Amino acid sequence: MLPAEVIRRYEEKKYKAIAITDHVDRSNIDMVIEGILKFCSSFSQKRKLKVLPGVELTHISLDDFAPLTNFARKKGIKVIIGHGETLVEPVVKGTNKAAIEAGVDILAHPGLISDSDCKLAVKKGILLELTSRRGHCLTNGYVAKMAEKHGAKLVLNNDSHSPCDIITPAELEKVGLGAGLSKKEIEQIYKNLTIFLSKKL
């Protein structure tokens, strides 16, 4: 979808802020960053929905995480996501650790994240994703338990790729409940996310 359509669909669902984070690797990162920064700079700040420019570093070599993370930050990208070791894609082993070490903001669908990687995410202040996205959501319960065990902060996320992926905040809350979180824990996720976004906006 075009950024304008993404925004309109999230506005209609009553979201307050989103990050547009298209998938990037070395082949397209320049083009994607240029496009999303241009769009965000022209986006009317009078609208209720706040939009942050982002990227998702996806299926890249382990050695590329640090330089591409640094490149994106220097260019003005506000939210950097590392495409984690989901069970439903052939992600290179060690991707979770490489993304965390590089200092991404969010580790998406981290799959069966290890204790050591989870501890490192805590140390570096990186959020772990619980997602409504088909397939990637299979390990939400595991990720939630690991986060509780080690004190990692979580984010509830649509990880939308098409209109049917964009659900309401109330439906997204059910994803958190389904992962074993309490309503109080979900409220804390939103408080943490408010702090995170206030540093990015």
Residue pLDDT, tens place only, 10-50:
999 999 999 999 999 999 999 999 999 999 988 766 788 99
**pLDDT at residue 47, rounded to an integer:** 81
Q: What is the mean pLDDT of each run of 10 residues along the chain (201 residues)?
A: 94 94 98 96 81 97 98 98 98 98 98 98 98 97 98 96 95 98 97 91 81
Neighbours of 82 (CB within 10 A): 30
Is 105 strand, coil or helix? coil
**pLDDT at residue 201, rounded to an integer:** 81
**pLDDT at residue 43, rounded to an integer:** 79
Residues 6 or more apart in contact with residue 158 via CB below 8 angstroms: 131, 132, 133, 165, 166, 167, 172
**pLDDT at residue 42, rounded to an integer:** 87
Query: Model's pTM, two decimal places?
Result: 0.96
Encoding tokens for residue 85? Answer: 């070791």
- What single string gives the DSSP state of each residue in 125-166? TPEEEEE-STTGGGGHHHHHHHHHHHT--EEEE---SSGGG-
Give the CA diameter of the chain. Answer: 44
State the CATH number of the domain containing residue 50.
3.20.20.140
* Structural domains in the chain (count): 1
Encoding tokens for residue 18? Answer: 């989103």
**pLDDT at residue 101, rounded to an integer:** 98
Residues of the domain holding 24: 3-200
In angstroms and rounded to an integer, the radius of gyration of the C-alpha atoms of the chain is 16
